[in-house]
Structure 1
Amino acid sequence: MHLQILFMLLLPTLILSINQESLYLHTIKLGFDDPNGVFSNWNLHDNSSPCNWYGVKCDSLTRSVTSIDLSNTNIAGPFPASLLCRLKYIKYVSFYNNSINSTLPVEELCACKSLVHLDLAQNLLVGSLPSSLAELHELKYLDLTGNNFTGEIPASFGAFRRLEVLGLVENLLTGTIPPEIGNISSLKQLNLSYNPFSPGRIPPEIGNLTNLEVLWLTDCGLIGEVPGTLRGLNKLVNLDLSLNNLYGPIPSWLTELTSVEQIELYNNSFSGEFPVNGWSNMTSLRRVDVSMNRVTGSIPNGLCELPLESLNLYENQLYGELPVAIANSPNLYELKLFGNSLNGTLPEDLGKFSPLVWIDVSNNEFSGEIPVNLCGNGVLEEVLMIDNSFSGGIPGSFSQCRSLLRVRLAHNKFSGDVPVEFWGLPRLSLLELTDNSFSGGIAKTIAGASNLSALILSKNEFSGNIPEEIGFLVSLVDFVGNDNKFSGSLPVSIVNLEQLGRMDFHNNELSGKFPSGVHSLKKLNELNLANNDLSGEIPREIGSLSVLNYLDLSGNKFSGEIPVALQNLKLNQLNLSNNGLSGGIPPSYAKGMYKNSFLGNPGLCGDIGGLCDGKDEGKTAGYVWLLRLLFVPAVLVFVVGVVSFYWKYRNYKKAKRLDRSKWTLTSFHKLDFNEFEVLRALDEDNLIGSGSSGKVYKVVLSNGEAAAVKKLSRNSKKVDESCDIEKGKYQDDGFEAEVETLGKIRHKNIVRLWCCCTTRGCKLLVYEYMPNGSLGDLLHSSKSGLLDWPKRFKIATDAAEGLSYLHHDCAPPIVHRDFKSNNILLDGEFGARVADFGVAKVIDVDDKGTMSMSVIAGSCGYIAPEYAYTLQVNEKSDIYSFGVVVLELVTGKLPVGPEYGEKDLVKWVCATLDQKGINHVIDPKLDSCFKEDISKVLQIGLLCTSPLPINRPSMRKVVKMLQEVGGGDQLKTANTDGKLTPYYHEDASDQGNVA
């Protein structure tokens, strides 16, 4: 009764308070952009309560607002601290994953004395971290992850009294981790990963945090050894020190952390032997990743006796045998040991008691047979055993392993027949058996492998006919079986493989004729049937295969004439030699450069020397020769006169432009031509391109090779004039930068500069010739259909390796500064070369790892945001530009254009993904069977174009991620706090092998 009376007396005050809180919240609403309408029910009415408004919670008795949760609502605007903190009883505030874009107002925020939970992660907050935040004495949870905070972590943070979670991941924080953090005795989670901290050691004071459960310090610039004080963290569950430069031995006291479930030490510089003793005490340990270090010794038996779920020790220097005890782990799903020197056999019972999903032991010295129970639990998806000394055959038990996706057994000593049912596993997408001694034939059960996209059988002893059932593999892209003993005719059904991109069966015993219907192989890029016993005529239908660029039918018994339709092809490799072909050579191939393509065909005749037998056949031929004797000399006299006059006139005109006596040639490779040979070819007839830096000519040299010559004249602009950022500002002609950079670079994915020629009024750069031109020209033209996904992926990987070389392998590093699709050149096999180094800079960095520019170089749509407004350049600027190129490859769209409105390609992709999904982003010309890999590469592109430079992976990391996609692996992520999923793993054994 007394409480009821008291409540009635206080009711007017409470109603007034509720109305006042409604007013505060409504004012907060007015300060935000709300595209999704989450504030639609935040409306003021007489005596209305905000407790039913979206995201608002109130105390059940007083009806005062205690919690506001507007996570993932897409709102934008400044953080309304002054209004929020007028809510007297507010305890919980979350604006996670929005576009809050201000600084944190210090004084206003400190008025929230009751605040317990503050989550502003994944927003656009800027400025420094307020040192007075520690005055919020009730605060237990503070997460500012994924913003743009700069400066150092304030030492005052050590004054938090009750803080349990501190999340500052993925900001722009500098300095080092302050030792005062060790004073927050209540702390349970310390998450500071992915910040550009200065190199520094792990503060020993962190060892005072005896309540700590999560220590996440990935990529924090840490150096030195792990301090021994951390052995006191006996409640630690997750220890992640990966992606740093920690060195010394792996601490032996790690085994004293008996509560630890996950240890992540990968990608550091740890060395010395793997700790041997004490592992048996770590009964909670489930995941261990010590990959990409320099750890030696053997794998401890005690570690393998634990109930592990994941063991990653790849790319170290481990030796010895894999302990048998690992086979007894009841939870093991991931075992990756590739890139070591491990030997012996795999445990006989491996997989028998474990739900093994992924096993990769490639690039070791293992021997013996594949354990028969490897798929004992029926969930095995990937088996990678490349480059070992395994022997025996594929276990019969694998025939029932219907979960298998990828099997790579290349470069071993396997033998025997492949089990009949194994050929037809329904989920198998990649089967690679290269360089073994497998025998027998391809079973007809192959018809069941409906998901197979790559069947790589080269360099074995397979024999027999290729079965007609191969035509059921409608997803097959790569079909490779060279250097075997296959015989019989090509199956008629092979023309059903409409996704086929590569067919290589050279060096076999195939016979018979080509099946009809070859024109249906619209995506065939490479056809190599050399050195078989095939006969009949070459089908003219081959000429309709618009993307075919590699055709080798040499060393067979083909007869008849060469189809004229072959002229329709854009071939980079043509070889029809050593057959029984006759008649004339199609005009477009009747050139000296193709001579070797037709040798060994006695009946062929053309204008290429050495191909005709020279015999006269009858009187008609004699009359023809007589006419030639009378007519040809007269014509020659006339032609010589005209040509002589033309050359004299032409040389007279050239003399005004080029004083050859004053040209200077500087070579960077051994040359068999001189500057005059180059100068003679600088005609408009040979012009193949022009841009802001000059004109480019194709020059066919006397040795038969082609070169590309860039002519740089004085006052050439080296920037994109359409870009307002640089309008009106001129660079130098880029000649010195290009010569300085390319003259000393030797890399397969950097365009090769043969030499340079200079005179007073003109400068020439002579490069290797790229027959397929630039990526930009090809991708954004009517010929973009030539670029299927495998080619686009190869181009992305090649370009990434070229940039990685510049950033990581050149000393000092080189930043390209104008990386774009037009500066990626394509060779005859669509291999990519990075070109145009006219604005490249050797990084002479300041103490923050950046270099200041006086003006911006680059092209619209490719320029990193921070470069545009700070003029600070480092490797991250190139990485952003690379990300834009990746988005071009995925979408087929230009980086800028009217269709985006005020956006560019990056913003368009992000918006379209959010609103419509990935199907509206991917280039419709790309085949949907590659959607999974395209999605992964798109994710890499988005990482590279992150607005925060610190969030962009290094180019070395990008190369590894692309290689992982190329191997078919799913991109792995580490999820330590339930929100962030940074890349953490590369499947290095897939590098350099077939996709």
Structure 2
Amino acid sequence: MQLKTSVFLFLLLLYTLHFNYISLALNQEGLYLQSVRLSLSEPPGFLSDWSDRDATPCNWTGVTCNRRYSVVSLILSGASLSGSFPITLCRLPSLSKLSLSSNSINSSLPLSISSCRNLTYLDLSQNFIVGPLPSTLSDLHFLRYLNLEGNYLSGAIPATFGLFPQLEVLVLADNLLNGTVSGALGNITSLKKLVLAYNPFLPTHLPPELGNLTNLEELWLTDCHLVGPIPHTFNTLSRLKNLDLATNRLTGLLIPTLISQLKSIVQIELYNNSFTGNLPGGWSNLTELRRFDASMNELTGTIPNELCELPLESLNLFENQLEGLIPESIANSPNLHELKLFGNRLVGSLPSQLGKNSALQIIDVTNNNLSGEIPQFLCQNGALEDLVLLNNALSGSIPVNLGKCHTLQRVRLQGNRLYGEIPAQFWGLPNVYLLDLYENEFSGNISHFIYGAKNLSTLAISKNKFSGSIPSEIGSLDQLVEFLADGNELSGEFPSTIVNIEQLGRLDLSNNDLSGGIPKGIQSLKQLNELNVANNRLSGDIPVEIGNLPVLNYLDLSHNNFSGEIPVSLQNLKLNKLNLSSNCLSGDIPPLFANEVYRDSFLGNPGLCTNDSGICNHKGRNKIRVFSWALRSIFVIAGVMFLLSIAWFLFKYKKLKKLNKNTTITKWTSFHKLGFSEFEITDSLKEANVIGRGASGKVYKVVLSNGETVAVKKLHERHYKDENNSNGGGDSVKDAFEVEVDTLGKIRHKNIVRLWCCCNTESCKLLVYEYMPNGSLGDLLHGNSKCKLLDWPMRLRIALDAAEGLSYLHHDSVPPIVHRDVKSNNILLDEDFGAKISDFGVAKVVKAVKKGVESMSVIAGSCGYIAPEYAYTLRVNEKSDIYSFGIVILELVTGKPPIDGELGDKDLAGWVCTTLDQKGINEVVDPKLDSTRFKREICRVLDIGLLCTSTLPINRPSMRRVVNTLQELVATTPLMDA
């Protein structure tokens, strides 16, 4: 009996050990997932719990199983995984939900993805997936959700997509799809959401077949290059809640039947199209409508009262041609928080009850013909943030209760007929960063309450009737960058506390009645670039400390009572404008200012004299001069003929010498403080110093006696002899020399090459620039062994520097400037490989013409960089520069020149698009780059380049947006290992 018991226990032990061994063995689905893990790169330890010590993967990160321990869901969103799409996942027999969104999957999608037959949910958005959409995706018969947004998918949408039997959500936004918006999508009658926005589709009409999607609730087709009218078939989309067709080229009238049938619609986005005619009727049927945006079209007529009677949250109709009154009924909406009607022809008053019944946040009615008073209830519910009423004919005063509107952030009332005193508390609103009261008829004092405006960045109260002194509390506004108060009746002394505002960049107190002197300590305003106190009663000495302001380039102290000598320290400044005229200054003019450039800067100061000319206006010196000439008159008369003969001989001799050698230069103009003599330049223009040759002339490297190095461009004679040719329209074309001088002489920016000085005589034209020791970007990329020095972080930095230079020209220069010849050879690199824009010989100041576009009489630019619309229409604006910059971006990514035999019959932009479609991203990126380490950054920059080179100018981003994107990339890009 005891033996049987022992045998039984032994067999039981064997069974238990065998059972435990089986239970610890990882099942087949777990092995599949481990294979997937091996194929992907992951952050250290992220999938550490995917261990073969488990029997099933059901407790692993991101994994969900059913009751039979079979994997049904895998969610690994935002896990920083990289590698190819793991097709092994399709071996999981029960997998129905898969999300790998926001990772770095960087392959194409295989046709075999159709083997994931049980998938109902597939989210691969925000990755780096390339290549075409697999035509086999529609074989996933159970699929209801498909999101591929934010990848680099290209080509056309396969016609087979119309075969999805159960698909409810299809999101393909923000890719590189460049076929057409396929009418086959109208066959997916189960669709509830269709999102194709931000793809470079070929221009195409809205497919009328989309009207078959009677279950559709959301249709988002922003920026899809759509043209033509909205099809009448869309009136069948009765369940539609969100319609977004913005930023296309849709035309014609808004269809009344469409408006009347969309009874479930909540949001309609039609902005930035070409719709014409009146807004239709039928709005009363749209009881669910909350947001309507038809701005930036060509709509005419009036704003329908029927539309304004709806409980709208947002109404945007700006930049149309609407006329008539703003319906009073808009003020009755309990939901209204945004009203933007600027850039129309509206008349009458603002609705008197506006803001009373809703938490209004934004109102902008700029550039209309509105009259009447500002409604008193705008901030009744304590939510108003933006109050923008510029350039109307509004009258009356600012409502007192707006002084309690602590939510206000931006106030712009410029260009109206408002009058009266500003409510005292209004001056001190704590969240206002922009207070613009320019060009009205306001009166009274600047209140001491202004100390409360701690966020104020711009205070613009120019051209009003403000009086009294500037309160000392102004010095407590440590965020203030601009203080503009010119053209008022301010009196009292120049407030000494202003020197405490360390961020102050622009101070204009001209045309007032201020007295006293400029306070001590002004050198603390290290950011000050404009100081204008002209036409006041200021007195005393000009502070020596002004010469220590590092970025000051505009100084106007004219028409005051300043006395004493001009501080020599002013020569330290790099001034675009200097005006000290009409004061009581005396003594010598500092040597730097004793030239033609500053001729008008010192008028009306009888006590000033210049050492160079020997002409002084001191009375004592005048008497001595008269007496001396009286004694010498006899000798002068006797020797006059002899002196004239000598003068005639010297004149002829010098003219002959100048013609022979072209080096006797007399007409120099300086734009910065110079530490060298101009004559050093002319002595160094030797063939041995030539570092470059171009169509316009030669470039010399000149090493000066003080150790500095400059670059000198000497223009060919033929390049400036024909400077007044006429072309086509009869407008004379400025020669490259004059354009370069006019443009660069006024620009001060770290990413634009400095023009030190120039020479302009009949026989010679010279331009003297700062020397850029690393040459041009084009040379380094395409013609120099130093290209190996350009790793990806350096290329990215160069792209940002160049973008910041162009952004300054387009957005910050007044008036804006279009370069017209942006190319890699015109991007120069300093000793640290910092990039600067150069060669402004064909630059153009943008005039205030319709839509910022100006027609040229000739094409300017370089082959391979010229925007398509510029070549065909000769119409130029900043979008032309953006296209050229996009080509430079593609050069940085690919390492290829814009036109090359290797590209076949295509230019660089066309070659990149074609190669991406056919071969993928790896065939596009410069093999010299570490494309594995910097894959994400390179792809993002390539995307910027492709956007900038969009065929339609409207799709190209602004340079300001490009700069912001590149700044984000630079901040997150790791440096190369040492």
CA apart distance, 1:953: 11
2:159 aligns with one of 155, 158, 171: 155
CA apart distance, 1:435: 1.0
What CA distance in whole angstroms lies between the structure 2 residues aligned with 1:583 and 1:595?
16
Secondary structure of residue in 2 paired with 1:822: strand
Letter in 1 for 2:63: V
Change (3 A) 1:105 1:910: closer
What CA distance in whole angstroms lies between the structure 2 residues aligned with 1:235 and 1:12?
57
The residue correspondences of 1:837-876 to structure 2 (distance < 5 A) are 837-839=861-863, 841-843=865-867, 863=892, 865=894, 873=907
1:529 aligns with one of 533, 536, 554: 533
CA apart distance, 1:625: 8.8
Is 1:103 the counterpart of 2:132 in the alignment? no
Is 1:48 the counterpart of 2:55 in the alignment? yes
1:272 aligns with one of 273, 277, 283: 277
Q: Which residue of 2 aligns with 1:921?
A: none
The residue correspondences of 1:479-878 to structure 2 (distance < 5 A) are 479-607=483-611, 612-613=616-617, 615-617=619-621, 652=660, 684=684, 693=694, 695=698, 710-711=713-714, 754-755=734-735, 768=742, 770-771=744-745, 772=747, 775-776=750-751, 794-795=808-809, 797=811, 820=827, 822-823=836-837, 837-839=861-863, 841-843=865-867, 863=892, 865=894, 873=907
What CA distance in whole angstroms lies between the structure 2 residues aligned with 1:554 and 1:765?
30
What CA distance in whole angstroms lies between the structure 1 residues aligned with 2:138 and 2:615?
88
Q: Which residue of 2 aligns with 1:62?
A: 68
Is 1:314 the counterpart of 2:312 in the alignment? no
Change (3 A) 1:963 1:612: farther
What CA distance in whole angstroms lies between the structure 2 residues aligned with 1:56 and 1:865?
40
Secondary structure of residue in 2 paired with 1:510: strand
Is 1:34 the counterpart of 2:37 in the alignment? no
Change (3 A) 1:115 1:945: closer
Letter in 1 for 2:328: V
What CA distance in whole angstroms lies between the structure 1 residues aligned with 2:103 and 2:157?
23
- 1:946–1:952 contact (8 Å) kept in structure 2: no
Instruction: Provide Cα deviations, 1:375-434, integer angstroms capped at 9, x if missing partner.
Output: 011111110000001000110011100111110000000000011111111111111111
**What's the TM-score, normalizing by structure 1?**
0.73
What CA distance in whole angstroms lies between the structure 2 residues aligned with 1:209 and 1:847?
42
What CA distance in whole angstroms lies between the structure 2 residues aligned with 1:469 and 1:595?
39
- 1:943–1:951 contact (8 Å) kept in structure 2: no
What CA distance in whole angstroms lies between the structure 2 residues aligned with 1:640 and 1:877?
67
CA apart distance, 1:119: 1.1
CA apart distance, 1:223: 1.2
Secondary structure of residue in 2 paired with 1:110: helix
What CA distance in whole angstroms lies between the structure 1 residues aligned with 2:222 and 2:177?
14
Q: Which residue of 1 aligns with 2:438?
A: 434
- 1:503–1:526 contact (8 Å) kept in structure 2: yes
What CA distance in whole angstroms lies between the structure 2 residues aligned with 1:561 and 1:534?
15
Secondary structure of residue in 1 paired with 2:357: coil
Bigger Rg, which one:
2
What CA distance in whole angstroms lies between the structure 1 residues aligned with 2:871 and 2:685?
51
CA apart distance, 1:620: 8.4
Letter in 1 for 2:70: S
Is 1:330 the counterpart of 2:334 in the alignment? yes
Secondary structure of residue in 1 paired with 2:278: coil
Instruction: Provide Cα deviations, 1:855-884, integer angstroms capped at 9, x if missing partner.
Output: 9997689635597796855889999xxxxx
- 1:146–1:169 contact (8 Å) kept in structure 2: yes
What CA distance in whole angstroms lies between the structure 2 residues aligned with 1:471 and 1:790?
32
Instruction: Provide Cα deviations, 1:504-537, integer angstroms capped at 9, x if missing partner.
Output: 1111111122222111111111111111111111
**What's the TM-score, normalizing by structure 2?**
0.74
What CA distance in whole angstroms lies between the structure 1 residues aligned with 2:266 and 2:896?
42
Secondary structure of residue in 1 paired with 2:403: helix
Letter in 1 for 2:27: N
Letter in 1 for 2:56: S
Cα root mean square deviation, aligned? 5.2
CA apart distance, 1:955: 6.2
Is 1:22 the counterpart of 2:22 in the alignment? no
Q: Which residue of 2 aligns with 1:725?
A: none
Structure 1: tracts of 5 or more residues without a match = 1-7, 658-677, 699-707, 715-732, 758-763, 807-813, 880-899, 912-940, 967-995
CA apart distance, 1:49: 1.8
- 1:543–1:567 contact (8 Å) kept in structure 2: yes
The residue correspondences of 1:201-212 to structure 2 (distance < 5 A) are 201-212=205-216
CA apart distance, 1:38: 2.4
Secondary structure of residue in 2 paired with 1:52: coil
Instruction: Provide Cα deviations, 1:866-907, integer angstroms capped at 9, x if missing partner.
Output: 97796855889999xxxxxxxxxxxxxxxxxxxx99589x96
Q: Which residue of 2 aligns with 1:233?
A: 237
Secondary structure of residue in 2 paired with 1:516: coil
Q: Which residue of 1 aligns with 2:124?
A: 120
CA apart distance, 1:75: 1.4
Instruction: Provide Cα deviations, 1:725-756, integer angstroms capped at 9, x if missing partner.
Output: xxxxxxxx9x99x9999989999xxxx97326
Secondary structure of residue in 2 paired with 1:479: strand
Equivalent pairs counted in the alignment come to: 825
CA apart distance, 1:679: 15
Secondary structure of residue in 1 paired with 2:205: coil
CA apart distance, 1:41: 2.3
What CA distance in whole angstroms lies between the structure 2 residues aligned with 1:578 and 1:848?
53
Letter in 1 for 2:836: N
2:84 aligns with one of 78, 86, 99: 78
Letter in 1 for 2:837: N
Secondary structure of residue in 2 paired with 1:946: helix
The residue correspondences of 1:378-397 to structure 2 (distance < 5 A) are 378-397=382-401
CA apart distance, 1:552: 0.6
CA apart distance, 1:112: 1.2
Instruction: Provide Cα deviations, 1:207-235, integer angstroms capped at 9, x if missing partner.
Output: 11111111111111211111111111111
Change (3 A) 1:351 1:818: farther
Instruction: Provide Cα deviations, 1:300-350, integer angstroms capped at 9, x if missing partner.
Output: 112111111111100011111111111111111111000001111111110
Change (3 A) 1:279 1:448: same
- 1:591–1:607 contact (8 Å) kept in structure 2: no
CA apart distance, 1:468: 1.0
What CA distance in whole angstroms lies between the structure 2 residues aligned with 1:421 and 1:953?
52
- 2:413–2:438 contact (8 Å) kept in structure 1: yes
Letter in 1 for 2:79: T
Secondary structure of residue in 2 paired with 1:231: helix
What CA distance in whole angstroms lies between the structure 1 residues aligned with 2:744 and 2:237?
59
CA apart distance, 1:40: 2.4
- 1:273–1:296 contact (8 Å) kept in structure 2: yes
CA apart distance, 1:35: 3.4
What CA distance in whole angstroms lies between the structure 1 residues aligned with 2:743 and 2:963?
30
Letter in 2 for 1:411: G
Instruction: Provide Cα deviations, 1:157-201, integer angstroms capped at 9, x if missing partner.
Output: 111110011111122222322222111111111111111212221
- 2:589–2:609 contact (8 Å) kept in structure 1: yes
CA apart distance, 1:958: 6.7
CA apart distance, 1:591: 1.2
Instruction: Provide Cα deviations, 1:916-965, integer angstroms capped at 9, x if missing partner.
Output: xxxxxxxxxxxxxxxxxxxxxxxxx9889636538989765777795999
Instruction: Provide Cα deviations, 1:524-580, integer angstroms capped at 9, x if missing partner.
Output: 111111111111111111111111110111111111111111111111100111111
